[in-house]
Structure 1
Amino acid sequence: MQISVFYNHIVTASKQTGLPLPEVLGLVRGYGIQAVELDLDEEAFEKLKSRIVHVHCKDRSLEEHPGEVPKISTNGTRLFPSLVGSGCIPVQAILDRLETIGYKNTVAIEHFDAADQLAYMKQSAQWLQATFNPLQI
């Protein structure tokens, strides 16, 4: 099992404790946390881009889809499942940034609450292979 934590939580811990960010990252590793997760955050990406080894691709739509339950965001927005690359998350921009740093590791597809998981996986995989295929599979 791999344990991870979001980068913004590490930044918050640094601010709360007054410890420098590298020291907090060292503490986190000492706690047995092997990975740091980040969203499309410019500061986080720049500081950690050489350490990115696994990327999860998930998208959400603002459009209601029959039979699918939305996730409610912290601001109350209803977010429905979406094929990777067709929703409101800037997946293409994220992939473009990864390409600029020569990323060639795993890109995982995530779908939560999709009415047809298999179809979503298939179509998302096709889109990712056509759009971002660093291993030329």
Structure 2
Amino acid sequence: MFFGTYTPKLDDKGRLFLPAKFRDELAEGLVITRGQERCLTVWSLADFGRLTERLREAPVTNKGARDYVRMLFAAASQEVPDKQGRVSIAPVLREYASIDRDVMVIGAMNRIEIWDPTAWQSYSAEQEEKFAEISDEVFPGF
């Protein structure tokens, strides 16, 4: 499980130092994809495999499913962290998320998200008020 917020920097070659707490779970490999709200999503190979299996069940005749699969897989990148815990982030993904050197890395349960710091701060501030309101929607009666 991934949680917490971290502020690593990309090196000059576009590589990200994964937070130490995430490295063991991702040591065998990972997939970096486009995420929602212009962030990047990092999946363990196992979780990305489960996601892929669910997407295979969607009918190819469903336009929404086709569109989602295209966007998710077109820029996806499979990586294996090096001995220092670094992974390369493809230029197309860096451009999509508007990340350059500074990044925010957040744990989001079964995935990691990589954000431009300004975009994360804006999103987080916007969601803060909604956070309390949606708890009843997400966990009715909890």
TM bin, normalised by shorter chain, reads: under 0.3
Q: Which has the higher contact order (CA 8 A, sep 6+)?
A: 2
Q: TM-score, normalised by structure 2?
A: 0.25
Greater Rg by CA:
1
After TM superposition, the score normalised by the length of structure 1 is: 0.26
